[in-house]
A and B are shown apart, each in its own frame.
Chain A
Amino acid sequence: MLRRARATLGLLLGPLIAAGCAESNGCEGDWCGTAVIVGADADVLFPPTMQGDVANAIVDLVFLKLADIGADLNTLGDAGFEPRLARSWTFEDSVTIRFQLDPRARWHDGRPVTASDVEFTFEIYRDTLVNSPQRPMLDRIAAVTAADSLSVVFRFDRFYPEQFFDAVHHMRILPRHWLDTIPRRELAAHPFTRNPVGNGPYRLVRWNRGESIELAGDSTFFLGRPGLRRIIWQVVADPGVGITRLVAGEADVLNFIGTPENLARVRQAPHLRTVSYRSNQYAYIGFNFRNPARQREPHPIFAERDLRRALSMAVDRAAVVDAVLGELGTVLEGPITSFMWIWSDTLKALPFDSARARRTLEQLGWIDRDGDGVRERGGLKLAFELLVPTTSQLRRRAAVIVQEQLRRVGAAMSINELDWSTFLSRAAAGQFDAIFGAWALDPSPRQLRQYWGSPGIGGFNYQKYRSPEFDRLVERASATGDRAQALELWHRAIGVITQDAPAIWIYAPRPVAAVHRRFENVTIRSDQWAATLWTWRVSPDNLLPRDRIAVH
């Protein structure tokens, strides 16, 4: 019956649909390969204003930086950085870097990439009308000047060890000849942002909104022909649907499997394999240091350091990770993850010790006098509300487990699930007792300032945690060029914050990608998973029919 149904449908549709596929055997020599990647849709494909992960991945293939961070994600000096549009660079003095552009670099319309493009790119990224999210990260660059057609000079307002990282990491170079006549106010919504002309290993072929984004390899790419001829992002509304497509053989890659259920489905598919990489994301339960009703006053519960430490020790984070993520997560030991160069497995958060947590609470005067299971002190119950975004299934699950663990030591945590936008608004306004937050990091440890330091209060330091010792150590570490010394200072800073317990450090997801087995040379960089996608390839022996279809 089933065979007959399939045959009937195949007979009806197969020849008709394939009637248009006369050119399906369109491989040129040994250059074949199509990767179908499932994911969300992009917002824009304009490097200064794009924000989503998909846009980031695509832009990584279409636009190059002057140099790219190495596999070890070092951000001090220029160690490990690989040449891209810049063939070489020299440090002329403590505040000046001169880049020499590769004369072979071309835009996809055939024009050469010049120093004038780099100068123009800096102007665009710094323009308030364009309002690039990266603009504040370029604050310390005083000027970018084209010295001649192929050399460009970056001047900084002062010396600091991550100058080179800031010069090359945040900006992807843009074509002046396409953009300089467009009024800056109109640039963010200009058609170029949806149909860009780049300089990378792939060019954009088409973007069918909500459906797919297709890239074609540039066979003349100056750093070598990309391994795959065609890359297609297929838009799926839901990761579960993406997994179904992978399992059904309709797609090849999903960069973040996400849940143990999805991992189990992938493992059952013999044509798929998994590739792990290091996480740049973490999730934490942050305590508000200020009273949400009267923000000039300290929080009635969480202002007390020992109370926060007791609550932290009451949570068995390993059990939470095990229940929610299984092998797809690790216990978080502080406000950084293993993908940063400053990470060390010697860093440890407060251990799980519920007996000690109970003792501490009693010593602090939090005692359950009325026998309702919730401790109180001076008429105040040890009860608070945790905000959780409805968009995060993992955080919602973890919150319930933490709630139960806290209940066992006499703390009542209610869970308030809010939609994403409301969650962030309340977090930014300080209208919360505790939030189940998460951060995705870039490779620079300086971000600790904005997320947990005093300079971040009023910004992303939603908890309003303030520690002069932590701030001082972060400033010193950021200013230290010596790697060993900087590492020691960063570890001391992290030691201060983990002991202060402004948050319970819950988990870092362990990213695992699902990849079709026919791909070779598969590597994934932890900060930008698609950065090395252009080096993947398919052996001629393993080609599928879709690998042979020409780009139209």
Chain B
Amino acid sequence: MIAFVTRRLAQALLIALGVVTLTFILLHAAPGDPFAAAAESPYLSPQAIEQARRNYGLDRPLWVQYLRYVGNLARGDMGVSFSLHRPVSEALLDALPNTLLLAAAALILDFGLGITVGTLQGMRAGTRLDRTLSIVTLALFSTPVFWLGLMLLLVFSQTLGLFPVGGVTDPVLYPSLSPLGKLLDRLWHLCLPAWTLGLVGAAGTARYQRAAILEVVRQDFIRAARARGLSERAVAMRHALRNALLPTITLFGLTFPVLLSGAVLVETVFSWPGMGKLTVDAVLRRDYPLVLGATVLAALMVVLGNLLADLAYRVADPRTREER
């Protein structure tokens, strides 16, 4: 197991280097100037733009900039953001917990709801309930995540006033709240963005899970379990679900990057200051160090997500342990 994890972590570093190189080339090949982005303002001059390029070393040859960046990165220095005027690592560390919180909440909803609904559908395939849920999950799965977010905002925030319009906390109240109050305030603000991201994911997961259950319930061991007189609930929970989970675990590893990309839109709709929003803004401003830092971090997170899925798979299915 240790050798497996070590091998995967070494692969992760190689992937990160590949991602850095590719992103570096693409960023510099793209048209646009990081220091021209504030033009149309009375507070900028062409001289200041030129000076900024010199101060940040953008007047050097590209290969020099690349080697310098990779060297600094190896020492843990991700550079200083052009647009935020602060170390990239600090900016990422500020945004990362918000993204992880949102992604974790959305994952729980996604898989909790998706597996439950999918299992229910699979065990009652062909019934009216199954058909109704199929239509609902298909509709949800086809819904653009930003549109769903806007609709939830419109209904639950603006019309019903049950949830805040956005943000991570209430900036007026939060500093004066007790620790419990602070926790609840955060959860209250998390609800709509997490449901937005989680619902669309859950619809997809449910459809996977339904198919997996249908595959499993045709197997002999399910027939044998039923022949032994076990209740439908026991058959579903103890036998069908556990075996049908394997493809869903694979899905878990694939879902993580999807959640990260989906989070960009949700973060924008709900003013949620996470990695997605930070990265998109950085790309638009051609903030090279911030884009590169965010890309490396995202790549590592995706690799780690897949590693976690592989480990979970090995735990759930003993055969894979023997094969490796």
Q: Contacts A133-B48, A419-B32: A424 and B39 contacting too (C-beta < 8 A)?
A: yes
> Is B55 touching A49 in the complex (CB atoms < 8 A)?
no
CB distance from B280 to the nearest CB of A (A): 10
Q: A244-B165, A549-B172 are in contact. Are A460 and B46 (CB under 8 A)?
A: yes
Q: Is the CB of B161 within 8 A of A6?
A: yes
CB within 8 Å for A17 and B85 given contacts A9-B162, A133-B44, A245-B165: no
Residue of A nearest to B166 (CB): A241
Residue B112 CB within 8 A of the other chain: no
How far does the Cβ of B159 sit from chain A's closest Cβ, in whole Å?
Answer: 9
Q: Does B61 contact A (CB under 8 A)?
A: no
Residues of A within 8 A of B95 (CB): 209-210
A189/B85 in contact, CB under 8 A:
yes
Question: What's the Cα separation between A52 and B285 when bound, in Å?
Answer: 13
Question: Could you pull out 17 A-B pairs where Cβ atoms are within 8 angstroms?
Answer: A13-B184, A16-B181, A17-B181, A19-B181, A44-B85, A135-B51, A193-B85, A211-B167, A212-B167, A235-B167, A236-B271, A241-B271, A248-B157, A248-B158, A250-B165, A425-B33, A426-B31
Whether A88 sits at the interface, judged by CB under 8 Å, is: no
Evaluate contact between A209 and B94: CB separation under 8 angstroms: yes
Number of A-B contacts (CB under 8 A): 204
The complex places the Cα of A383 from the Cα of B177 at a distance, in Å, of: 63
A389 and B84 alpha carbons, distance in the complex (Å): 22
Chain B residues with CB under 8 Å of A56's CB are 43
> Which B residue sits closest to A418, measured CB to CB?
B31
Residue of A19, A24, A134, A194 near B86 (CB, 8 A) is A194
Q: Is A550 an interface residue (CB 8 A)?
A: yes
Q: Answer whether residue B171 sits at the interface, using C-beta atoms and an 8 A cutoff.
A: yes
In this assembly, does A403 line the interface, its C-beta being within 8 Å of a C-beta of chain B? no
Does B312 count as interface, using CB distance less than 8 angstroms?
A: no
Contact partners of A419 in chain B: CB under 8 A:
32, 284
- Compute how far the CA of A189 lies from the CA of B287 in the bound complex, rounded to whole angstroms: 15
A549 & B173 in contact (Cβ 8 Å cutoff)? yes
Interface residue A288 (Cβ < 8 Å from any Cβ of B): no
The answer for the CA separation of A362 and B85 in the assembled complex, in Å, is 55
Residue pair A438, B40 in contact (C-beta under 8 Å): yes
- Judged by a CB distance under 8 angstroms, whether B188 is at the interface is yes
Residues of A within 8 A of B177 (CB): 17, 19-21
Residues in A neighbouring B80, C-beta threshold 8 A: 188-189
Q: Of A255-263, A319-327, A439-447, which binds chain B?
A: A439-447
A248 x B32 contact (CB < 8 A): no
Q: Which residues of B (117-158) have their CB < 8 Å from a CB of A?
A: 153, 157-158
Q: Are B172 and A36 in contact (CB under 8 A)?
A: yes
- Given contacts A135-B51, A460-B39, could you give 11 more A-B pairs where the C-beta distance is less than 8 Å? A5-B162, A6-B162, A9-B162, A17-B184, A135-B45, A193-B86, A194-B86, A209-B91, A209-B94, A244-B153, A549-B172
Q: Which residues of A contact B40 (CB under 8 A)?
A: 424, 437-440
The answer on a CB contact under 8 Å between B43 and A424 is no
- Which chain B residue has the least Cβ–Cβ distance from A6? B162
Q: A421 interface residue, CB < 8 Å from B?
A: yes
Per a CB cutoff under 8 Å, which of A17, A235, A245, A437 touches B185? Answer: A17
A152 to B: closest C-beta gap in Å: 24
Is A214 in the interface zone, CB < 8 Å from B? yes
A131 touches B52 (CB 8 A): yes
Chain A residues in contact with chain B, CB under 8 A?
A: 2, 5-6, 9, 13, 16-21, 23-24, 34, 36, 41, 43-44, 46, 49, 51-52, 56, 128-129, 131-137, 185, 188-189, 193-194, 206, 208-212, 214, 232, 234-238, 241, 244-245, 247-248, 250, 280, 391, 419-422, 424-426, 428, 437-442, 447, 450, 458-460, 546, 549-552
B160 contacts partner chain A, Cβ-Cβ < 8 Å:
yes
Q: Which of B37, B43, B169, B184 contacts A134 (CB under 8 A)?
A: B43
CB distance from A508 to the nearest CB of B (A): 14
Please, what's the 1-or-0 string for B53-70, where 1 marks a CB less than 8 Å from any CB in chain A? Answer: 001000000000000000
Name the B residues within 8 Å of A250 (CB-CB): 164-165
List residues of chain A with CB within 8 A of the CB of B31: 421-422, 425-426
- Asked if A241 and B168 sit within 8 Å, CB to CB, the answer is no
- SS class of chain B's interface: helix, strand, loop or mixed? loop
Nearest A-chain residue to B267, judged by Cβ: A237
Q: Hey, which chain A residues are within 8 Å of B173, CB to CB? A: 17, 21, 546, 549
Collect the chain B residues with CB atoms within 8 Å of residue A238's CB. 268-269, 271
**In the complex, which of the residues B47, B48, B178 contacts A20, with contact meaning CB atoms closer than 8 Å?**
B178
Q: Do the beta carbons of A245 and B45 come within 8 Å of each other?
A: no
Please tell me if the beta carbons of A237 and B271 are within 8 angstroms of each other in the complex.
Answer: yes
Beta-carbon contact of A235 and B160 below 8 Å: no
Question: Which residues of B are in contact with A by a Cβ distance under 8 Å?
Answer: 30-34, 36-48, 51-52, 55, 80, 83-87, 91, 94-95, 98, 153, 157-158, 160-162, 164-169, 171-173, 175-182, 184-185, 188, 267-269, 271, 273-274, 277-278, 284-286
For A245, list chain B residues within 8 Å (CB): 165-166
Q: Which A residues touch B164, using CB under 8 A?
A: 250
Q: Is the CB of A20 within 8 A of B181?
A: yes
Q: Which residues of the other chain, A, contact B33 by a CB distance below 8 angstroms?
A: 421, 424-425, 428
Which A residue's beta carbon lies closest to that of B179? Answer: A20
- Among residues of B, the one whose C-beta sits closest to the C-beta of A552 is B175
Contacts of A235 in B (CB 8 A): 167, 271, 273
- Choice from A13, A136, A248, A439 contacting B47 with Cβ under 8 Å: A136
**B277 touching A210, Cβ below 8 Å:** yes
| A43, B38: Cα distance in complex, Å | 11
Complex Cα distance A442/B41, Å?
A: 9
**Which residues on the B side are within 8 Å of A49 (C-beta)?**
85
> In the docked arrangement, what's the CA distance between A36 and B44, Å?
29
Does the CB pair B84–A44 fall under 8 Å? yes
State the CA gap A495–B40 with chains docked (Å).
23
Query: Whole-angstrom distance between the alpha carbons of A16 and B44 in the complex?
Result: 49
The interface residues of chain B lying within 8 Å CB-to-CB of A428 are: 33, 36, 39
B46 touches A459 (CB 8 A): yes
A128-B80 Cα distance, complex, nearest whole Å = 18
The verdict on A421 contacting B169 (CB below 8 Å), with A51-B43, A235-B273 known, is no
List the 8 shortest-distance A-B pairs measured between CB atoms, nearest first. Answer: A210-B273, A421-B32, A20-B178, A20-B177, A20-B181, A212-B171, A459-B46, A552-B175
CB proximity of B68 to chain A, nearest CB, Å: 16
> Cβ of B52: which chain A residues have Cβ within 8 Å of it?
131
Residue of A with least CB distance to B178: A20
Cβ-defined contact, B48 with A21, below 8 A: no
Taking a contact as CB atoms under 8 Å apart, the answer to whether A552 and B176 are in contact is: yes
Chain A residue, CB-CB nearest to B87: A189
**Which of A17, A23, A34, A51 has most chain B Cβ within 10 Å?**
A17
- In the bound complex, residues from chain A placing their C-beta under 8 Å from that of B162 are 5-6, 9
Residues from chain B with Cβ under 8 Å of A237 in the complex: 267-269, 271, 277
Contact between chains at A13 and B85 (CB < 8 Å): no
CA distance A185 to B52 in the complex (A): 11
B39 to chain A, nearest CB (A): 5
With most chain B CB atoms within 10 A of its CB, the pick from A9, A20, A439 is A20
Chain A nearest CB, measured from B167 CB (Å): 6
- The answer to whether residues A214 and B45 also contact, given A18-B181, A20-B176, A419-B32 and a CB cut-off of 8 A, is no
Q: Is the CB of B48 within 8 A of A136?
A: yes
Which partner residue on chain B sits nearest A5 by CB separation?
B162
Question: Inside 8 A of A441's CB, which chain B residues have their CB?
Answer: 42
